[in-house]
């Protein structure tokens, strides 16, 4: 789901021109995976120097060492895949050992041009400000592109397991990146809001078995989409209706289902436009209040699929809260969230508490999903500083 920052709205409006999804013929060479992948998850396949701008006019350049990377991770079935991302190290603050924060991006869109590693360099990344605030503390930051953003295939949006893998392996890749001078066994943390909150939560749940060697000090989880079954009906036809279409496309891609079979001709045009051409802000502007009923064969809401096989099992597989994070978690969620109801975040906190996790649930009253990301950052950054300082974490369990 979106993680738009109010202060960055003007930047979003200047997003990059519409372009079609890259194919093998026109995809930038950096984003084309090699035929053979390295042996271990988190291994760096290639890297190149990049830049970080806060605006599309490229007037505000962030003082950091920036490397675009491609690294190995695994998909939902454990198959090795290549994804891309960005490693950023601040130049103006020197901490030793330097902590690394895995920043899990919020909803970028499905088109290849929406990959954060591209948008960071173009000055169109709407989460540029929270990334910079982490850098300002002296933290290194690694931002994954997830599966299928920039690289071949449809972005597996909202696939819990592969998103968690991509986040954890981004930390491994940052530690192994030659020339980054980041400690291989140093302290790390997880941070994300909305889709990113779900990805950070998934990474926290998967870390004990998938990446037990990482010294994760804590996870900041903002407005996590922890239970899709409770969210779908509210999203469909709302101002954020494109997100339901994203989810259907992403889950279909992750589970080998072509959703075109459910779509009428108009639905196919809209869906392929979202996949090929539009990043989040453009999509929300072009298709406000998108209702799946008008996209579907038979003009019946596609939300009805989620109650039937195989979709009911797919949705259940994405639910968070069934596995205990082994690290402290700050879970921030607004009572006035208009995309992901706060009850979803509250339930995740309660589920984790029942499993014995250390969880601080922090409620705020900032109106709207977009603006409430500010509250997550305002509380989350000092909370991370305390975790890196090995201070005890409080719990609301």
Q: For residue 173, which of 242, 118, 102, 120 has the smallest C-alpha distance?
A: 102
Instruction: Work out the angle between the directed axes of helices 195-210 and 160-176 (0-180°, nearest 10).
Output: 70
pLDDT tens digits, residue range 152-180?
999 999 999 999 999 999 999 999 999 99
Q: What is the model's pLDDT at position 19?
A: 31
Task: Kindly state the tokens that stand for 232.
Answer: 């779908």
Strands lying side by side in the sheet with 329-334: 44-49, 64-74, 80-90, 140-144, 100-104, 187-193, 215-222, 329-334, 359-364
* H/E stretch holding 134: helix 128-136
For residue 252, the Cα-to-chain-centroid distance in whole angstroms is 18
Q: What is the model's pLDDT at position 85?
A: 98
Q: What is the model's pLDDT at position 239?
A: 95
Owner of token pair 């962030």: 62
Return the bridge partners of 362, or none: 332
Cβ contacts of 310 within 8 Å, gap of 6 or more: 255, 257
* H/E stretch holding 334: strand 329-334
Task: Kindly state the tokens that stand for 227.
Answer: 């239970």
pLDDT tens digits, residue range 287-335?
999 999 999 999 999 999 999 999 999 999 999 999 999 999 999 999 9
- DSSP annotation string for 281-309: HHHHHHSTT--GGGTBGGG--GGGGGGST
Cβ contacts of 274 within 8 Å, gap of 6 or more: 109, 110, 111, 242, 245, 246, 249, 283, 287
Collect the ranges in the chain with pLDDT lower than 50: 1-22
Q: What is the model's pLDDT at position 95?
A: 85
- DSSP annotation string for 302-362: GGGGGGSTTHHHHHHHT--SSS--SS-EEEEEETT-SSS-HHHHHHHHHHHHHTT--EEEE
Q: What is the model's pLDDT at position 93?
A: 80
Q: What is the model's pLDDT at position 309?
A: 95
Instruction: Work out the angle between the directed axes of helices 128-136 and 369-388 (0-180°, nearest 10).
Output: 20
Q: Note if the bond before 310 is cis, omega within 30 degrees.
A: yes
Return the bridge partners of 371, or none: none
Task: Kindly state the tokens that stand for 96.
Answer: 């030793």
């Amino acid at each position: 789901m979106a993680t738009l920052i109010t202060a960055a709205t003007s930047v979003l409006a200047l997003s990059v021109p519409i372009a079609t999804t890259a194919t093998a013929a026109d995809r930038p060479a950096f984003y084309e995976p090699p035929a053979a992948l390295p042996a271990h998850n988190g291994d760096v396949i290639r890297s190149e120097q990049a830049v970080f701008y806060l605006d599309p006019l490229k007037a505000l350049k962030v003082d950091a060492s920036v490397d675009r990377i491609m690294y190995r991770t695994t998909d939902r079935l454990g198959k090795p895949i290549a994804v891309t991302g960005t490693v950023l190290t601040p130049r103006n603050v020197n901490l030793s050992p330097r902590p690394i924060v895995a920043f899990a991006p919020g909803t970028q869109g499905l088109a290849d041009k929406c990959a954060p590693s591209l948008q960071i360099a173009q000055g169109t990344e709407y989460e540029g400000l929270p990334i910079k605030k982490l850098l300002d503390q002296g933290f290194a930051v690694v931002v994954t592109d997830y599966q299928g953003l920039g690289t071949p295939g449809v972005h597996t949006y909202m696939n819990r397991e592969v998103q968690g893998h991509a986040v954890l392996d981004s930390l491994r890749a940052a530690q192994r990146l030659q020339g980054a001078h980041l400690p291989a066994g140093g302290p790390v943390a997880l941070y994300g809001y909305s889709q990113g909150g779900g990805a950070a939560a998934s990474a926290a749940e998967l870390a004990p078995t998938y990446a037990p060697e990482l010294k994760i000090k804590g996870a900041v989880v903002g407005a996590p989409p922890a239970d899709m079954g409770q969210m779908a009906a509210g999203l469909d036809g709302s101002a954020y209706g494109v997100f339901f279409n994203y989810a259907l496309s992403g889950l279909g891609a992750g589970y080998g289902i072509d959703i075109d079979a459910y779509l009428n001709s108009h639905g196919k045009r809209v869906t392929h436009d979202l996949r090929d051409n539009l990043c989040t802000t453009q999509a929300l502007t072009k298709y406000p209040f998108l209702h799946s009923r008008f996209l579907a064969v038979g003009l019946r809401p596609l939300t009805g699929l989620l109650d039937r096989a195989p979709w009911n099992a797919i949705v259940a597989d994405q639910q968070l809260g069934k596995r205990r994070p082994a690290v402290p978690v700050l879970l921030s969620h607004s009572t006035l969230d208009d995309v992901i109801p706060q009850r979803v975040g509250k339930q995740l906190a309660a589920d984790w508490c029942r499993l014995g996790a250390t969880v601080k649930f922090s409620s705020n009253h900032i109106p709207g999903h977009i603006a409430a990301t500010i509250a997550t950052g305002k509380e989350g950054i000092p909370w991370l500083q305390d975790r890196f300082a090995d201070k005890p974490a409080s719990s609301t369990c």
